[in-house]
Amino acid sequence: MSEIVRFGVSIEQDLLENYDSLIVERGYATRSEALRDLIRDALIQSKIENDLTTQVLGSLTLVYDHHASNLLQEMAHVQHDFHEVVLSVMHIHVSHVDCMEILAVRGIVSEIVDLADKLLSLKGIKNGKLFLTLPSSGITERK
């Protein structure tokens, strides 16, 4: 683990008050811990957006109507095309109509975004979201 350093921050009073309310709401013990998470998230998102060859891991959540014609075959077909990045799939029968699938994914950003776009645009998919992050070693690496 890297050495901990302290630094001063100049900030408007009302902005700090809002920040303090937010960190209490989210359950952080200290301002420092909340700030570290904000910084990590900014670094992760920046790296992912700026370099589509970055190795990432994440999850893709899909909610769909399992009665939609051909949807299951099309979903399986796309996932087989991306078998190297799809690590695991969890399927939940949400109701008589809806299913939810959560795909654990790992690979380069461009491939995973391509996979997500192909699945999210299928007819019958009601909603979905891709979450990407980096292994902890990838966060602190310098550019």
Applying CB under 5 A, which residues contact Ni ion?
Answer: 93, 99
Least distance between Ni ion and beta carbon 5 (Å): 50
Residue 89 buriedness (CB in 10 A; 0-12 / 13-18 / 19+): middle
Based on CB atoms, which residue is closest to Ni ion, 23 or 101? 101
Distance CA 85, CA 108 (A): 8
Least distance between Ni ion and beta carbon 127 (Å): 15
132 Cα distance to chain centroid: 3
Residue 68 token pair: 């939609």
Least distance between Ni ion and beta carbon 98 (Å): 8
Based on CB atoms, which residue is closest to Ni ion, 75 or 134? 75
Based on CB atoms, which residue is closest to Ni ion, 68 or 113? 68
Q: Which residue is nearest to Ni ion (CB)?
A: 99
Asked if 123 and 71 touch (Cβ cutoff 8 Å), the reply is yes
Nearest residue to 49 (alpha-carbon basis) of 136, 133, 118: 133
Based on CB atoms, which residue is closest to Ni ion, 36 or 91? 91
Residue 10 buriedness (CB in 10 A; 0-12 / 13-18 / 19+): exposed
Least distance between Ni ion and beta carbon 93 (Å): 4
